[in-house]
Every structure is written in C-alpha cells, then in structure tokens.
Structure 1
Amino acid sequence: MKLLAYNVRTDESMFFQKFAEKYGVELHTLPYSPTLENAGNTEGCEAVSVVTSSITKEILVKWKASGIHCVSTRTIGFDHIDIEAAKNLEIPVSSVNYTPASVAEYTVMLILMALRKVKTIMIRGLGQDFSLTNVRGRELRTCTVGIIGAGRIGEAVIQRLHGFGCKILVHTLHPKEELSSFVSYVSFDELLQESDVISLHAPASAETEHLIGQTEIEKMKDGVVLINAARGTLIDTPHLIAGLESGKIGAAALDVIENERKLFYKDLKYKVLSNRDLAILQSMPNVIITPHTAFYTEEAVSDMVEYSILSCKNELEGKDNPWRVK
C-alpha cells in the first residue's frame, strides 16, 4: 500500500515511521493541507490520511481520478469531509478512535479549573496580586454534574467523576447498565434544570448543531458551569456570550468553539483574530479557552496515526474496517 499523509506534524513523524514499517506501508508525508490545487499530486498513492482540513467534493473527485481508493481522517470527528460526495464516488471514509483517557482527564481538569476560578488566580498572580478577592471556588463533591453523551469519552469522564463523590446525571441515546449504580439517567430537560455543571460529549451532526442555545440556557440553573471538549458546533456561541454577560452562566471552559478551523493550531500572535466571538470570550475572567488540545497526548497521537494507517490497509486488502464511517 502506498499512503500519502497530509498535515504531518513533527510530533507525528516518529509514529508514522514506526507504523509504516510495522505494517509494510510505503509512506509519503506532506506538512501542508490538501487543496483543490494540489489534490491531483498524489504521486500514485492509493490512500490518503488527513486531519481537520476541509475535504470537499471537488477534492474527492480529483483524488478519485488520480487513483485514491480510500480516505482516513486522523480524528474522531469527520464533519470536515463531504461524506455524501465520498459515498457517491465510492470512496470509503474512515475516522479513528483513540484512548478516551486523554479527553476525559482534560475534561475533569477543565471542570476543576472553572469551579476554582483558576484563570483569575493565575492572571492576577502574574501581576503579583495574591489577594483572595473574588477567587473563592466550589468543591466538585457538592455539585450535580450533567453529562450529555455517554460514548467512550463520556463514559470515561463519568468513571473519573465518580471518585469525586459528586451527583452525576446522564442524558444519552444509549444508556449503559454498568454505569447505572452511580449515575442517574434523565431527560435532556431534567439534566439542564438540575445540573450545576454541564459537560458535552456528543458528536457534531445536523441533529446536534446548537444543541445548547437560548432556550436550553434559559432552562439551566443560575450560575451554571458549561464545559465543552467535544465539538464547537454543539453550542450557539452568541447565546453563550449573552448568558455569560447576564450572569445566567457562571463560567465556561471550552476546548472547542465554532469556526475554529482557521485559527487553532496556528501561531497568530500580532494578528487581528477573524473570530469576534473568540475575542469576546477570551476577555472574560470566567471563561477558559484552550485550542482543541484535549486529545493531545503521546498515547492518543500514537493511536490516531496507527489506526489511520490500519483503516486504509484494511480497506485496500478487503478486510473488515472497524473505523469506516457508516
């Protein structure tokens, strides 16, 4: 198999070399994103591996014409790929999974940081203001935490929260019996109304876009803490900002935001941001923003590269591919 991998970062290179050798893959890597202009330059490859670059119908058509038989994204989400076009072109698309501990541990960290007002403490400490004014926090054990979505990552978050002794409410399409001894499965509205902290773990889709909007925020407790380490499109950002400005939302910790693709993973210091909502959120003392790094551990990156290579190999060899997007 001859594989072309786009957007290969320095930290991924060692894993690409390791697994290409392990699985007998002829590997070609590029540091830049696929575009319509360079899509025809696949050097006789049979498969491509991408990350979060937009993969349009036009790019897929060029890839098909140049002999690409399958596409793998080294991400769990695949909303950046025109799946319908890929199906029409008969190009199988695969995503990956990776250790859920990476995002789960990060999520718990964000919850604790938001409850303990760590952003304010750290910024003031840099200015040598070590006073206690306005930094009194809350203990997680006293909170009711609502988890929306209990897939692999949501379940891993629940398992970790259980040790803190907090009450856990869960809304999910697929309840798991093994969690029922220490969580309560509830309706979406009940979770919104009863939770002190709400953490989102749903995939991005047409059905989940703006899952949290004005109506949902109005149903929440005053001072609720919102956590999102899943996908930015789950929250309607202008209504999030309005909720923060009114005090309805007490704090937010966000590893993802809407329209992040042109910003995150780039060095934009000294530049004017093209996302006003992000600029507003960053200015708020009760909002923590991190650049979609919850997944970013050595173990997760290794998994992402290995499973991307394996999914392409399985497709080309006619084997069952557990990562194929259905």
Structure 2
Amino acid sequence: MKMLAYSYRKDEAEYFEKFKNKYNVDLILCKEHPTLENANLAKDIDCISIITTPITAELMKKFYDNGVKFISTRTIGYDHIDIEKAKELGMHIGNVTYSPRSVADYTVMMILMATRKIKVIMERSKVQDFSLRGVQGKELHNLTVGVIGTGRIGQTVIKNLSGFECKILAYDLYENEEMKQYVSYVSLEELIKNSDIITMHAPATKDNYHLINKKSIEIMKDGVFIINTARGSLINTEDFIRAIEEKKIGGAALDVIEHEANIYYNDLKSKVLNNRDLAILKSYPNVIITPHTAFYTDQAVSDMVEHSILSCILFMEGKENPWEITMK
C-alpha cells in the first residue's frame, strides 16, 4: 500500500520507520502541512495522513480529484476536516485513538496546578518573592469535581481522581456502569451547579459547541475552577473572559482555546499574536495556558502513527475499521 503523511515531525520519525516496516507500507513523508500547492504530491495515492491543519472543502476536492480515497488524521478530534464536503464527495475519513493516560495525567496535573495557584507561585519565585500572600490553595478531598464526558479519557481522569478522595460528579449521554463505583452521574445542569472544579472531556460537536457560556456560568459556584484539555470550542471565550474578570471563575487551566489553529505548534517569538483572546488569557495570574500539549507523550505519538497507518491499511483491504468516522 502507498501512503503519504503530511506534517511529518521529527518526533514521529522513529515510529513511522518502525511501523512502515512492520506493516510493509510504501510511505512518503512530507514535512509541510497539506495545501492546494502541495496537494499534487498525493496524486494517485489512495490514503493520506494529516494532523490538525484545516482540510477545507476546496482542499478536499483537490485531494479527491488527485485520487485520494481516505484521509486519516493522527488526532482524536477531526473538527479541522470539512466532514460535509467529505460526505458530498464520498471521501472516507478516519481519526486515531491513543493512550488515554497522556491527557488524563495532564488533566490531573492541571487541576492541581490551578487549585494550588502554581502559576503565581512560580512567577513570584522568578523574582525572589517568596511571600505567602495570595497563594493559599485548596485540597482536593474538600472539593467536588465535575467530569463532563466519560469516554476513555474521562474514565481515566476519574480513576486518577478517585485516589484523592474527592467527590466526583459525571455527565455523559451514555453512562458507564463501571464508573458508577467512582462517580454519581447527574444532569449537566446539576453538575455545573454543584462542582467546585469542572473538567471537560467531550468532543467538538454541534451539540457541545460553547457548553460553557454566559448562561451556564451564571449557575456555577462562585470561584469555580475550569479545566479544558479537550477542545477550545467547548468554551465561549468572550463569556469566559468576562467571568474571570468578574471573579465568578476563580481559576482555570486551558490546554486548548478557540481559534488556536496556526498558532499552536509554531515558534512565534517576537511576533504579535493574531488571537487577542489568547493574549488576554495569558495575562491573568489565575489562568494557566498550555499549547495543546496534553496528548504529547512518547506512547501517544507511537499510537497516533501506528493507528493512522493501520486505519489506512484496513480501509484499503475493505476490513472493519474502528477508526473510520461514520458520517450521518
């Protein structure tokens, strides 16, 4: 099978080498992200692998005209792909899964950092301000954590949190029986009202767009902590910023934000950010911002590369493919 991988990174090198040999794949690597200008590299190639760069309707059509039948994104989320255009053309789309521990461990770290005010402590320490004023934190066993989304990552977060002896509420359209030994499933409104910490583990769907907004923020506890290691579109950033400034939200840790494309994963030193909300959020002492790195472990990168290759193989062989997206 012949396959083209765009946005090839150095950290993926050993895994592409390992799995192309393991699965006997004829693999072409391209360091550039897919564009209309380099889409012809995929001419007469059945499957391509991408990461988070946008696949617009125009670019999708270009790939389709070049003979591409399957696009695999080396990510769990696929909101960067124009699914409607794919459906119209008959283009098949796949995502990947990877070790849920990568994001789950990072999430617990972010919860602890936010509730223990680590950003302020570290920034003060840089200038040798070792005073205690304003850095008193909270202990997890005294708090209620609300977990929105109990898929593979949400479940792992819950198991990790269970060791801290905190009360855990959960919301998901599909309740998981195993998780009921750790959590109380409640309605989304009840979770939002009663949680001291809300952590997001839901996909970027139309139904989940701006779950955190002015209306939902109003019913939250005063001083609530918001953690988002899922997708930026789950939070209405304008409403979120207002709530931070009004001290309704006591702190936050965000690994993702709205409109992060073309910012994260780039070296932008000495440049003016073209995302004003990001610039504002970075300035707040009680908001921790990281550049979509919760997933980034050696195990996760290995899984992403292997599953993308396997997904293409299964598609070409006409076999059941657990990573192919069902387009309704």
Q: d(CA) in 1 for partners of 2:247 and 2:256?
A: 21
1:234-245 mapped onto 2 (5 Å cutoff): 234-245=234-245
Aligned partners of 2:235, 2:229: CA distance in 1, in Å?
11
User: Does residue 46 of structure 2 align to residue 36 of structure 1?
Assistant: no
Q: Unaligned regions of 5+ residues in structure 1, if any? A: none
SS at match of 1:77: coil
- Cα deviations across residues 147-171 of structure 1 (Å, max 9, x unaligned)? 0110110011001000100000001
What TM-score does the superposition give when structure 2 sets the normalisation length?
0.98
SS in structure 2 of the partner of residue 252 of structure 1: strand
Q: Is residue 113–residue 119 contact of structure 2 (8 Å, CA) maintained in 1?
A: yes
Query: Using the alignment, how far apart are the partners of 2:76 and 2:104 within structure 1?
Result: 14
Report the counterpart of residue 294 of structure 2 in structure 1.
Answer: 294
> Are residue 316 (structure 1) and residue 316 (structure 2) matched?
yes
Structure 1 residue 56, shift from structure 2 partner: 1.4
1:48/1:72 contact within 8 Å kept: yes
Match of 1:176 in 2: 176
Contact 2:9–2:31 at 8 Å: present in 1 too?
yes
Q: Which range moved further: 216-225 or 57-66?
A: 57-66
For residue 305 of structure 1, report the CA deviation from its aligned partner. Answer: 0.3
Is the deviation greater in 62-71 or in 303-312?
62-71
Number of residue pairs aligned between Structure 1 and Structure 2: 326
Partner of 1:200: 200
Query: 31-40 vs 245-254, which deviates more?
Result: 31-40
Whichever residue aligns with residue 48 of structure 1, its letter is I
| Alpha-carbon shift at residue 41 of structure 1 (Å) | 2.4
How far the C-alpha of 1:37 sits from its partner, in A, is: 2.0
The alignment yields a C-alpha RMSD, in angstroms, of 0.8
Q: Deviation above 3 Å: which 4+ runs of structure 1?
A: none
1:261 and 2:299 are equivalent in the alignment? no
Taking the aligned partners of 1:137 and 1:54, their CA distance within structure 2 comes to 40
- Indicate conservation of the 8 Å contact 1:72/1:311, yes or no: yes
Match of 2:215 in 1: 215
- Give the corresponding residue for 1:111: 111
Q: Match of 1:48, SS?
A: strand
Give the aligned partner of residue 47 of structure 1.
Answer: 47
Q: For residues 61 and 268 of structure 2, what CA distance do their matches in structure 1 show?
A: 33
Are the aligned partners of 2:159 and 2:182 in contact in 1 as well (CA < 8 Å)?
no
Q: Which amino acid aligns with 2:113?
A: M
Deviation at 1:67, TM superposition (A): 1.7
| Counterpart residue type for residue 155 of structure 2 | E
- Aligned AA for 1:77? G
Give the Cα separation in 1 of the matches to 2:123 and 2:200: 27
* Cα deviation code 1:131-160 (max 9, x no counterpart): 111111000111000001101100110010
Take 2:24 and 2:131, find their aligned partners in 1: how far apart are those partners? 60
Please identify, of 179-188 and 276-285, the stretch whose mean Cα deviation from structure 2 is larger.
Answer: 179-188
1:156 aligns with 2:156: yes
Q: Which amino acid aligns with 1:83?
A: I
Alpha-carbon displacement from aligned partner over 1:100-142 (angstroms, at most 9, x marks no partner): 0000000000000000000000000011111111111000111
8 Å CA contact 1:196, 1:221 repeated in 2: yes
Give the TM-score, by structure 1 length: 0.99
Contact conserved, 2:43 with 2:67, CA < 8 A, in 1?
no
Aligned position for 1:250: 250
Measured after TM superposition, the shift of residue 85 of structure 1 is 1.4
Aligned to 1:98: 98
Identical residues among aligned pairs (%): 56
| Residues 69 and 316 in structure 1, CA contact (< 8 A), matched pair in contact too | no
